[in-house]
A and B are shown apart, each in its own frame.
Chain A
């Protein structure tokens, strides 16, 4: 009895000390998620899924079908679907809902955005434990569907969801950018379309296309409108150009390297073509697909997930049919600096899970997120655009291989350009890259695009785009996107010497030391006494 009493006393004291010491390092929140031992199938759960589609009705149908299929397997989980058509709106709504504690359960997103979401404590659930759980993890024994194992997710894509060493997102679909080319016009201009485009090539052909006839119409298309080279996402354009040239963009720790001499040179080159009007952007002119299909563009660069809009026979068209011209379309990787060493961006939706007080609800969310990786969802969704399934299980399935083999058999489900776009990323998965993710990386991406948009507008407005102009642009861009406020991890200032401890801290630490010494002495004395008695 006495021994038990002493043990208890020691335990209480040790706990108190541990509490004090723990307090020095911040309180451990009770809201961090731990994987439950089993999923409760008796209780009912309602989860919300915020999904992004490419303004594509078929994708909406697939989401709905996925929800339906999942609910059949798990009748106690109700999934509420909310549809978005752009990532920006999802991002803004999530940020708003983090502050009110009303985030969705499952959300389509970009890793850049997650880096901001997770600045809230325990807001986004790290997926490592869930993925590795033998019962409910990837390929788990208790799953009611045939999901992929962790090894069956393309490793390169899986790693893109890893932030600060933890897995925060599962890849859902992957795409890259592609150059959709009016081959008919290129050949009319006296050029061939190479397997790999270079930037020099694309600038040269674009300038050649600006020649006009005596009536002021462009010789190549006979129209009064021609923008030979149109780029949809100028942030990707700048990022890929810098990557291909080995120039700075950012470090993984969040240090901004964008404003460098290579960027200056690139901007001057781009501005010269904007000035001649051989180059323009989506923000300045409109969707590249509309100009391409109207015979007013030769090189349209957009996502492979926009392939169904590209070409004379495109299943989706935004201009009146009488304006569509007939031409041959071919798909190529984005222009390269070194054609022997291709580099292209990896993009596409990922899925993250938001934390909730009830671990069972989080587990329900995880089950649904994982369901999105089943072959059924992966193959059907990837077929809506030039997407690529993110699992080898889907990519190597007979169903998917049949789908690829049927390219060109029709202009809808098996539209040649769309399947060519999917093949492009499939063949070049190892040539893809992503930019470092940190809190502020989304702003840096916007800033990269802003530089191109600004010099293009400036050149069109007859401004002199020289060193001085670009230097001012660098400064204003850094301020506009708050890049000077990005916290660089492990920056030297953060490791600076803070000087000696204050007297109060020294006193407290001394007291703690004495307390532990006394405890130790007591334990030794007690042990010795026990030894003598026995």
Chain B
């Protein structure tokens, strides 16, 4: 900054001195005779001024040159610094370029600011010196020259900045290229590693296959040897057999006849295994039982039942003599699909009693329910309305398909409250679960009376779920409705029918 000020002043003073000298010569001629002593004095002063101006101009020129040189050096240093930084950073982002650009712009701005300040100062100084002279012209010329100098400096600075930018970009490109090369090398190495691993795996597989083939060959050889041995033995036996053909033929016929007889006996025994309903009822709890009956209804399939160890289903079965409740007996999904109403099945299990309910449970071998093709039977519901209240009579028809006629729906304690709690309409006559502690999807309990006596009925959700007609129908029942019902006479510490249909009269 100071350099520019001094240089500009020197140039200005030099120009002023030269202009002033020319003017003094003309005036000297005009006033030569009248003002000779003054002229001489002025001439001496002018000469001194010229000498001083010349010296000043020289000094200013020297300083200006030094200033330009310093600016160039500074710019070069800046470029060098940017180059070094760009190279070291090795990060190919535009941020570096932006930083360089910003720096260059800042440098330009600084140079411009300094130049303008120098010009201003020089102008001030020139104005002071030429206050009483005709230096305006010279000043204008100087200004022009100064502007030209400033422009030249600006142009030079821009060129320097551009060069710096170009060099920085080149550096960035070089870094990017190097980075790409590094990445490529890494990728190549990774691919090579993967290929090597694959090759190793293939080799391992090949080795395993070869070993397997060898084992197979060994086994085959061993088997072949065994076969040869057997064949040799058999050949020897054949020789003997040929000699005894007639005798053996007689023996074979006898054996065949004996086997046939045994087979007939086995079938007869198998048929005897299947119990009649009376035999089944006479069996004790935990006795093994085998029954044949016809599916009347089935509850949902229980896949992978942990209590049994396989897929199971609970089935209501019946024949002309009586009914069976098959609790969680082994049934695969394929067999389950085929268990239609009326399908004949054979079941092997243990007899059991749970809370009064007589049932068959899985045996130790988890023998699956067996479908017997050909025959079909769908039981007609037995009307047991008149048996209500007689526990012994009811237990005699346990598990059978039954009907209840002309029953009256009764208020169920907690029904209204439960519904109020769950936000449904009040006045309903059913409960979710036995006391209303359940929710939609659970068993429905409701009361109906006959001859003034109250009985509880259940819609078992695994048999008739929330989407079934009976589930929906029970939810519509109102106290006082007269209904007919059908269902299965399930037992839990007393009669607890599983209702499958409800008809409001």
A446 touching B95, Cβ below 8 Å: no
Residue-wise, chain A 1-43 has the 8 Å CB interface mask toward B (1 for contact) of: 1100110110011000000000000000000000000000000
Interface check B377, CB cutoff 8 A: no
B194: A residues at CB distance < 8 A: 504
In residues 120-177 of chain A, which contact B (Cβ within 8 Å)? Answer: none
Say if the beta carbon of A490 comes within 8 Å of chain B. Answer: no
Determine how close the nearest CB of chain A comes to the CB of B47; give it in whole angstroms. 50
- Known contacts A8-B95, A290-B355; A57 and B437 CB within 8 A of each other: yes
**Segment among A253-261, A280-288, A337-345 that sits at the interface with chain B:** A280-288
Within 437-474 of A, Cβ neighbours of B (below 8 Å) are at: 446, 450, 453, 457-458, 460-463
**Which residues from chain B contact A521 at a C-beta distance below 8 Å?**
88
Residue A511 interfacial (CB < 8 Å): yes
Q: Are A504 and B190 in contact (CB under 8 A)?
A: yes
- Shortest beta-carbon distance from A447 to chain B in Å: 9
List of B residues within 8 angstroms of A53 by Cβ: 437
Pairwise interchain contact A481-B306, C-beta atoms closer than 8 A: yes
A480 to B442, alpha carbons, bound, how many Å?
28
B414 cross-chain contacts in A, Cβ below 8 A: 57
Q: Is the Cβ of B99 less than 8 Å from the Cβ of A508?
A: no
Please determine whether A55 and B437 come into contact, CB atoms closer than 8 angstroms. yes
Question: Which residue of B has the minimal Cβ distance to A83?
Answer: B439
Complex: chain B residue closest to A54, CB-CB: B437
What mask results when residues 425 to 459 of chain B are scored 1 for a CB within 8 Å of chain A, else 0?
00000001111111100100000000000000000
Instruction: Determine the chain B residues whose CB is within 8 A of the CB of A503 once the complex forms.
Output: 189, 192-193, 196
Task: Check if A502 sits within 8 Å of B193, measured CB to CB.
Answer: yes
In this complex, the member of B91, B186, B414, B442 whose beta carbon has the largest number of chain A beta carbons within 10 angstroms is B91
Binding-face segment, A59-67, A210-218, A328-336, A361-369 = A59-67
A381 to nearest B CB, angstroms?
13
CB distance from B86 to the nearest CB of A (A): 12
- Cα A460 to Cα B361 in complex, Å, equals 14
Is A188 located at the chain interface by the 8 A CB criterion? Answer: no
Residues in chain B near residue A530, CB distance under 8 A: none
CB distance from B171 to the nearest CB of A (A): 15
Rounded to whole angstroms, the CA-CA distance of A453 and B307 in the bound complex is 9
Contact of B435 among A1, A56, A64, A462 (CB under 8 A): A56
Set of chain A residues within 8 Å of B196, measured between Cβ atoms: 503
| Distance, CA A518 to CA B421, complexed state (A) | 71
Nearest to B183 among chain A residues (CB) is: A511
CB distance from B17 to the nearest CB of A (A): 43
Whether A9 lies near B354 (C-beta < 8 A) is no
CB distance B355 to A287 under 8 Å? yes
Question: Could you tell me if A9 and B95 are in contact, using CB atoms closer than 8 angstroms?
Answer: yes
Inter-subunit contact B286/A461 (CB<8 Å): yes
Contact A60 B88, CB 8 Å, known A1-B102, A461-B286, A503-B189: no
Count A-B pairs with CB separation below 8 Å: 108
B182 proximity list for chain A (CB < 8 A): 511
Given contacts A285-B354, A504-B193, contact A61 B309 (CB under 8 A): no
Distance, CA A83 to CA B438, complexed state (A): 6
- Cβ-defined partner of A522 (8 Å) among B89, B197, B493: B89
Residue A318 at the chain B interface, CB threshold 8 Å: yes
Inter-chain contact B493/A320, CB cutoff 8 Å: yes
Cβ-neighbour of A55 out of B309, B352, B418, B435 (below 8 A): B435
Contact with A along B58-102 (1 / 0, CB 8 A): 000000000000000000000000000000111101011011001
Q: Does A520 contact B (CB under 8 A)?
A: no
Contact among A8, A9, A60, A458 for B436, CB-based, below 8 A: A60
Is B103 in the interface zone, CB < 8 Å from A?
yes
CB distance from B223 to the nearest CB of A (A): 32
A123 to chain B, nearest CB (A): 23
B354 touches A55 (CB 8 A): no
Say if the beta carbon of B494 comes within 8 Å of chain A: yes
Q: How far is the CA of A525 from the CA of B435 in the complex (A)?
A: 82
Q: Is B350 an interface residue (CB 8 A)?
A: yes
A518 touches B90 (CB 8 A): yes
Query: Does any Cβ of B come within 8 Å of A507's Cβ?
Result: yes
Task: Please give, as numbers and ranges, the residues of chain B lying within 8 Å of A507 by CB-CB distance.
Answer: 186, 189-190, 193
Q: Which residues of the partner chain B approach A463 to less than 8 Å between Cβ atoms?
A: 364
Interface size on A, residues (CB 8 A): 52
A2 and B99 contacting across the interface, CB-CB below 8 Å? yes
Assembly CA distance A319 to B103 (angstroms): 96
Shortest distance from the beta carbon of B125 to any chain A beta carbon, whole Å: 34
CA–CA, A476 and B306, complex, Å? 12
- Complex-state Cα separation, A504 to B93, whole angstroms: 27
* Segment 468-500 of B: residues with Cβ below 8 Å from A: 493-494
Residue of A nearest to B493 (CB): A319
Closest CB-CB distance, B435 to chain A, in whole Å? Answer: 4
User: How far, in Å, is B23 (CB) from chain A's closest CB?
Assistant: 52
Q: How far is the CA of A502 from the CA of B197 in the complex (A)?
A: 9
B433 to chain A, nearest CB (A): 6
Q: How far is the CA of A83 from the CA of B89 in the complex (A)?
A: 65
Contacts of B186 in A (CB 8 A): 507-508, 511
* Complex CA distance for A502 and B90, rounded to whole angstroms: 28
B89 / chain A contacts, CB cutoff of 8 Å: 6, 9, 522
Give residues 286-320 of B contacting A (CB, 8 Å). Answer: 286, 288, 306-307, 309
Would you give the 0/1 interface string for A80-111, flagging 1 where the beta carbon is closer than 8 Å to chain B?
00111100000000000000000000000000
Nearest residue in B to A283 (C-beta to C-beta)?
B307
Q: Which residue of A lies closest to B307 (CB)?
A: A283
A284: chain B residues at CB < 8 Å are 352, 354
Q: CA A511 – CA B190 in complex, angstroms? A: 12
Residues of B within 8 A of A286 (CB): 354-355, 493
A60→B419 CA distance, assembly (Å): 12
Would you give the shortest CB distance from B445 to chain A, in whole angstroms? 11
| Chain A, 57-80, CB within 8 A of any chain B CB | 57, 59-61, 64
Say whether A85 contacts B88, CB under 8 Å: no
Q: Among A12, A85, A323, which residue has the most Cβ atoms of chain B within 10 A?
A: A85
Residues of the B chain whose Cβ atoms lie less than 8 Å from the Cβ of A60: 418, 421, 436-437
What separation, in Å, do the CA atoms of A450 and B305 have in the docked complex?
A: 12
- CA gap between A361 and B494 in the complex, in Å: 48
CA A286 – CA B327 in complex, angstroms? 14
Kindly identify which residue among B91, B190, B285, B432 contacts A9, using a CB–CB cutoff of 8 Å.
B91
B91 near A13 with CB under 8 A, answer yes
Known: A83-B437, A85-B442, A518-B90. A320 touches B494 (CB 8 A): yes
How far is B363's CA from A24's CA once the two chains are assembled, in angstroms? Answer: 53
How far is B283's CA from A461's CA once the two chains are assembled, in angstroms?
Answer: 13
> Smallest CB–CB gap between B308 and chain A, Å?
9
> Which residues of chain A have C-beta atoms less than 8 A from B437's C-beta?
53, 55-57, 59-60, 83, 85
Q: Determine the chain B residues whose CB is within 8 A of the CB of A5 once the complex forms.
A: 95-96, 98-99
Name the distance in Å between A317's Cβ and chain B's nearest Cβ.
10
- The residues of B that contact A522 with a CB separation of less than 8 Å are 88-89
Q: Which A-chain residue is minimally distant from B310 (CB atoms)?
A: A480
Chain B residue nearest in CB terms to A13: B91
Instruction: Mark interface residues in B339-358 (1 if CB within 8 Å of A CB, else 0).
Output: 00000000000101011000
10 other A-B residue contacts (CB within 8 Å) besides A60-B421, A286-B493, A318-B493: A2-B99, A5-B96, A9-B93, A83-B432, A85-B442, A283-B307, A284-B354, A290-B355, A460-B286, A461-B364
Pairs A–B under 8 Å by Cβ, sample size 16: A5-B98, A9-B93, A56-B435, A56-B437, A57-B437, A60-B437, A318-B493, A450-B306, A457-B350, A504-B193, A507-B186, A507-B190, A507-B193, A508-B190, A511-B186, A525-B88
What is B's interface to A at a CB cutoff of 8 Å? 88-91, 93, 95-96, 98-99, 102-103, 182, 186, 189-190, 192-194, 196-197, 285-286, 288, 306-307, 309, 350, 352, 354-355, 364, 414, 418, 421, 432-439, 442, 493-494
Pairs A-B, 10 closest by C-beta atoms: A286-B355, A504-B193, A83-B439, A57-B435, A460-B286, A503-B193, A5-B99, A504-B190, A319-B493, A60-B437
Chain A residues in the interface with B (C-beta under 8 A): 1-2, 5-6, 8-9, 12-13, 53, 55-57, 59-61, 64, 82-85, 283-287, 290, 318-320, 323, 446, 450, 453, 457-458, 460-463, 476, 480-481, 502-504, 507-508, 511, 518, 521-522, 525
